[in-house]
Amino acid sequence: MSEFDQYTEYVDFPCHYERLDWIFNTIKSAKKNPAQILDVGCGTGNVTLPLCVIPHAQVTGIDVHQGNLDITASKNKFSNLKLEFRYFEKADIRQYDYIILTEVLEHIPNYTEILSYAAQHGKKGMELLITVPNGFGPFEIAMQPLYLMRKMGLNGFIWKVKKLLGKKEPYSQNYDTPHVNFFTVPRIKRECKELGMKVIEVKNAYFIAPIIETYLPFIPLKTISKIDNKLAQLLPHFLASGHYYRIVHQ
């Protein structure tokens, strides 16, 4: 149990909880005082609100879906949180120590513009904390049938099946946006280097647990996910279902 558990729905979703835990502890362990944090595409606050627990943190969450911001605001009990309807490329990012893009870039066709904006306008020493699925890993491969069904206009059928299976979504109101980018570790490293940024940490995120969470939501995942995540740390990057990147602006 962590100090931020009461502020996130991810306590019931082990794969998402692990991602939040990595972001939270990466920032907290650095002990920057104060830490200026920007959560891009903050959704319904499942990552944003827990970050407010970090001592002396100043947190800003931005999103382009007002419904997400309204939900986050309704749950907010912190004075150190600011929420804004804003596109990243229109934000003043010069003051931030950390910019978080968690499960965001795979949905955005022009994602290189986001990375370029961060490189051009972020301050030296700023860190990007990025999490994305492995574009050619087990999870993305297993998701192809769902992607095909969505292209066929079967979203309504998918949601009926999910409801029947007891599947809940702790994401945001725009959860049906498809993946349009398929990342690999060499690709992220190369593109960051070209922009004058350096990947200083890559962590594997699971092997098959996210697949179980998607297709078999009635199976308890807490124990399975811990074992699966430990297994992922022993595997080469290309076999992981996702990756966490810590990137520094040089």
pLDDT per residue over 119-144, tens digit each? 999 999 999 999 999 999 999 999 88
User: Which residue ranges form the domains of the chain, and what is each CATH number?
Assistant: 5-249 (3.40.50.150)
Provide the pLDDT for residue 33: 81
Report pTM.
0.91
108/178: higher pLDDT: 108
What is the three-state SS of 166-223?
CCCCCCCCCCCCCCCCCECHHHHHHHHHHCCEEEEEEEEECCCHHHHHHHCCCCCCHH
Cis peptide before 210 (omega within 30 of 0): no
Q: Where does the pLDDT of residue 157 fall: very low under 50, low under 70, confident under 90, or very high at 90 and above?
A: low
- The predicted structure's pLDDT at residue 126: 96
**134, 237 contact by CB (below 8 A):** yes
Rounded mean pLDDT, 106-112: 93
| Mean pLDDT of all residues in 56-76 | 96
- Distance, C-alpha 182 to centroid of its chain: 15
Give 195-247 pLDDT, tens digit per residue.
999 999 999 999 999 999 888 877 888 899 999 999 999 999 999 999 999 99
Whether 221 contacts 209, CB under 8 Å: yes
Residue 169 has pLDDT above 70, yes or no: no
Task: Look at 35 and 156; give whichever has higher pLDDT.
Answer: 35
